[in-house]
A and B are shown apart, each in its own frame.
Chain A
């Protein structure tokens, strides 16, 4: 809303520099955007919040100024000189759909001479950015910018059949607006029609056919109330925002319908001559009553934390147009003015008092008592996972939650159901809620390669969005698992090591099982399965080497490996920190064993066999795989050699050579039994 200070001064004299005016308005709720000179006038652009349509006109802003500077407010009382002929003799008005238009009034001015507006009017309109058109149209704009009530002037001679019909538009009905563009309407919009068809799009814009022209002699002046949703549907649906639609969407003062009509009729008469027919032709009834609100004086301090004297409370409310119903002090009943339909409750009155009194009166050093707080398990989980990956040299990325169809063409490790769609698209072409972070991270990694960044090793912690299918059971129809995903340059073992690092820090015990996934090279991918006490094992992750096809798609060069983990399922349980297991005071014994096994045997099976040997649970400290080699001549076809490093250590004493010998024998036996492993030389 742009304000002309010259215009504003017609209603109130604040007697302070513009900077002070702007500051006081800013601190009472009308945010300042900019100030600039226009000739001798000054334009001030203020931001009006959607709850304050009263400030979408100069009078409303003047009322704020009057209260802030404690000055009287002068509002003109328009009295057009009316002829004897009643307006009803010239026009009939009918509201067919009262839900779209509760109230419609029409006045008629005959014998006008359309011409340019006088300088004072043209200049004020120019200051606020409205180009003058002619004296009749300018008056309707002027009065709208004065009181916030939009008006429309028709050339009465072009209104066919002498009738105004307010109704919903018909589906597909067409209309040519003042901008000379044609619009196809829907039943969510409303029109002003004459006997033959639409002459205005209700609350948004007049029609080209009936616009005021140089030869217009009879003016039909519309002042009405339109339903906000209907006006919004038209303005948005047709992308036809106007100063009028902007105000109707927010709901102007209902009492201004009548005032604006009289004000505009009087001004047209003054500037364009003619005679105003007696009275208005009215249909419907004003919607929106005045609220009656009880205010406890003590409530103000209860909310603000500082007192405001009872007398000052009353002064502020009275200045804003609220009317006290009877003498009172501690508890008063107030009637809200018609233009403040946003004020309906005691708390609303408290806010009015607070904003005028000024929030600077509230101290900023009131102490607040401390309260213990605990970091949630989820929070700790996210931090621990991030710490591991940052320590490993990865950078945290943030990618979009909504992705393109191409990204979501990749199967998700987490669901077989398709991705959900949103409208509008987040960015062009991205309208799928992602079910995995991996395609986004691979793209980001590819971007780093393309721009020659030092590396493209990235991780991200974010949610995926999975359709629950029919299994919502009263909860959300979507599941949102929290994932940590990572992409690193290097073979399968690189991503696996990082996944193991994260899972290990979170205290999870998992198994890796070979399994094919869309993004990964066949045979070089695994699902990660979590063992759970008293429950079925569950998939908590995938890891693999990114396939050549995917690498080339994202401009990456292999080997690149990636993993995605379900942090929601790996969440650190309980709030107790880990308890120390004291490092043993006794020396370790190192033994290397060289097993020959079948080529297809999994390391996990060897490891399990070693750990299950009698005595291993207390004495085996660590297993390492030192070397794997194959040599058909020396080992035989289909065989491989595994050099396994074993470290034995006891918590209770030095391991004797007998003890370590027995343990080695037990391990060899266990591996021989479960894995057909043969000890080599």
Chain B
């Protein structure tokens, strides 16, 4: 039989633990802390050590439980000691404190132009539907800018006053700065076979006097899909997906009839934005004459196309009242986006 009962050991351990933690929590300076440490956790004659010695007097069967109780108390006292030490160290560091509200070390980060951000947003949304971004030349010939798009020689859109024509030598084909990115769609269709899903984007040029809503150089994003059996319902679905992704929420799309030489039927599409219908761009089914012009068979495939003026939606998106601000390149403007 042992000389110490488990019950009396348990009581001793609990009492020691309570007294030690209480003493450590109130220790006010390093001297008090050291005194408490020696009393409870001293290596030679600390009270913890004393209790440990009692373990030997316990009955063999009770020893594992007693050991567990001892270790638990020892852990708690050690933790309280550490906490007290940390607390007193912190108090003595008060003198080295800093004004944590002082400015952080400045670093300058750059900004992507809001027009680029808007284009990328549309690109990313369209990419989810499998539309690949494509690019093409800005200086174009009459075939790609007009004829392949069913804009005949008599069409007013070809008037020299309505386009930026390049000075060319007599007898050479006229060239102009493209007036729409549909030119890229023609170029892609000439090179690839359907099915096709592309987004063409970039700068386009039309002689408009610069004012708050016009600029002679602006950006377009145009989508084109050519597949067997494509319909206007598919077009509406794609535009609604674009509108909902771009504006957020469940956005509705509306078509109004319009006229473009290269689509038939042609529509303007509006999106519900801030509780009202906002004109977003033009769209329609690719005119069979355009499909034929690039060597596609209109009996085999059909397609739809749509175009967005980037400046207009960017202006609305960012609350820019004058689109000329996009081209002033004032850093105070650019760094807001």
Q: B-contacting residues of A (Cβ < 8 Å)?
A: 26-29, 31, 49-52, 228-229, 232, 236, 249, 302-306, 345, 347-348, 350-351, 354-355, 359-360, 362-368, 370-376, 378-379, 386, 389-402, 420-424, 426-427, 433, 444, 447-448, 451, 453-459, 462-463, 465, 476-478, 480
What's the minimum C-beta distance from B288 to chain A, rounded to whole angstroms? 6
Cβ of B28 within 8 Å of any chain A Cβ, yes or no, is no
Cβ of B295 within 8 Å of any chain A Cβ, yes or no, is no
CA distance A366 to B257 in the complex (A): 20
CA distance A424 to B203 in the complex (A): 17
Known contacts A373-B131, A426-B164; A395 and B256 CB within 8 A of each other: no
| A-B contacts, 30 listed (Cβ < 8 Å) | A27-B256, A29-B256, A29-B259, A31-B258, A52-B259, A305-B232, A347-B265, A351-B266, A359-B257, A360-B255, A368-B129, A368-B237, A368-B241, A370-B128, A371-B197, A379-B133, A389-B110, A393-B110, A396-B110, A398-B326, A401-B217, A422-B164, A426-B205, A433-B177, A447-B330, A451-B330, A451-B332, A453-B332, A454-B331, A462-B203
What's the minimum C-beta distance from A227 to chain B, rounded to whole angstroms? 9
Q: Which residues of B contact A302 (CB under 8 A)?
A: 229, 231, 302
Report whether A347 and B287 are in contact in the complex, using a CB–CB cutoff of 8 Å: yes
Residue of B nearest to A426 (CB): B216
Interface string of B160-173 (1 = CB under 8 A from A): 11001111100010
Cβ of B4 within 8 Å of any chain A Cβ, yes or no, is no
Residue of A nearest to B289 (CB): A345
Known contacts A351-B266, A376-B134, A477-B175; A396 and B334 CB within 8 A of each other: yes
Q: A-contacting residues of B (Cβ < 8 Å)?
A: 107-113, 115-116, 127-135, 137-139, 141, 154, 156, 159-161, 164-168, 172, 175-177, 195, 197, 203, 205, 207, 210, 216-217, 229, 231-234, 236-241, 252-259, 264-268, 285, 287-288, 302, 326-332, 334-335
What's the minimum C-beta distance from A425 to chain B, rounded to whole angstroms? 9
CA distance A370 to B127 in the complex (A): 10
Q: Which residues of A contact B141 (CB under 8 A)?
A: 476
CA distance A228 to B285 in the complex (A): 28
Report whether B108 and A393 are in contact in the complex, using a CB–CB cutoff of 8 Å: yes
Known contacts A236-B161, A302-B302, A397-B334; A391 and B327 CB within 8 A of each other: no
Partner of B216, one of A427, A451, A455, A465: A427
Report whether A362 and B205 are in contact in the complex, using a CB–CB cutoff of 8 Å: no
Q: Which residues of B contact A456 (CB under 8 A)?
A: 331
Report whether A348 and B264 are in contact in the complex, using a CB–CB cutoff of 8 Å: yes
Report whether B233 and A373 are in contact in the complex, using a CB–CB cutoff of 8 Å: no
Report whether A232 and B156 are in contact in the complex, using a CB–CB cutoff of 8 Å: yes
Q: Which residues of B contact A373 (CB under 8 A)?
A: 127, 130-132, 197
Q: Which of A305, A448, A478 has the most CB of B within 10 A?
A: A305
What's the minimum C-beta distance from A144 to chain B, rounded to whole angstroms? 20
What's the minimum C-beta distance from A33 to chain B, rounded to whole angstroms? 13
Q: Which residues of B contact A27 (CB under 8 A)?
A: 256-257
Report whether B132 and A229 are in contact in the complex, using a CB–CB cutoff of 8 Å: no
Q: Which residues of A contact B135 (CB under 8 A)?
A: 376, 378
CA distance A50 to B152 in the complex (A): 13
Report whether B233 and A366 are in contact in the complex, using a CB–CB cutoff of 8 Å: yes
Residue of B nearest to A449 (CB): B331
Q: Which residues of B contact A351 (CB under 8 A)?
A: 257, 264-266
Partner of B256, one of A31, A229, A249, A476: A31
Report whether B130 and A396 are in contact in the complex, using a CB–CB cutoff of 8 Å: no
Report whether B329 and A399 are in contact in the complex, using a CB–CB cutoff of 8 Å: yes
Report whether B259 and A364 are in contact in the complex, using a CB–CB cutoff of 8 Å: no
The 4 closest A-B pairs by CB, nearest first: A305-B233, A371-B130, A305-B231, A29-B257
Report whether A453 and B330 are in contact in the complex, using a CB–CB cutoff of 8 Å: yes
Report whether A396 and B257 are in contact in the complex, using a CB–CB cutoff of 8 Å: no
CA distance A52 to B266 in the complex (A): 13
Report whether A371 and B129 are in contact in the complex, using a CB–CB cutoff of 8 Å: yes
CA distance A399 to B109 in the complex (A): 21
Report whether B259 and A50 are in contact in the complex, using a CB–CB cutoff of 8 Å: yes
Report whether A395 and B334 are in contact in the complex, using a CB–CB cutoff of 8 Å: yes
Q: Which residues of B contact A422 (CB under 8 A)?
A: 164-167, 176-177
Partner of B259, one of A49, A305, A451: A49
Q: Which residues of B contact A51 (CB under 8 A)?
A: 259
Q: Which residues of B contact A465 (CB under 8 A)?
A: 138-139
Report whether A28 and B257 are in contact in the complex, using a CB–CB cutoff of 8 Å: yes
Partner of A364, one of B127, B129, B131, B240: B240
Known contacts A360-B254, A396-B334; A303 and B166 CB within 8 A of each other: no
CA distance A364 to B235 in the complex (A): 8
Residue of B nearest to A462 (CB): B203
Q: Which residues of B contact A366 (CB under 8 A)?
A: 231, 233-234, 236-237
Residue of A nearest to B288 (CB): A347
Report whether A444 and B329 are in contact in the complex, using a CB–CB cutoff of 8 Å: yes
Report whether A423 and B160 are in contact in the complex, using a CB–CB cutoff of 8 Å: yes
Report whether B115 and A391 are in contact in the complex, using a CB–CB cutoff of 8 Å: no
CA distance A433 to B203 in the complex (A): 13
Residue of A nearest to B130 (CB): A371
Partner of B109, one of A29, A372, A374, A393: A393
Report whether B137 and A480 are in contact in the complex, using a CB–CB cutoff of 8 Å: yes
Q: Which residues of B contact A348 (CB under 8 A)?
A: 264
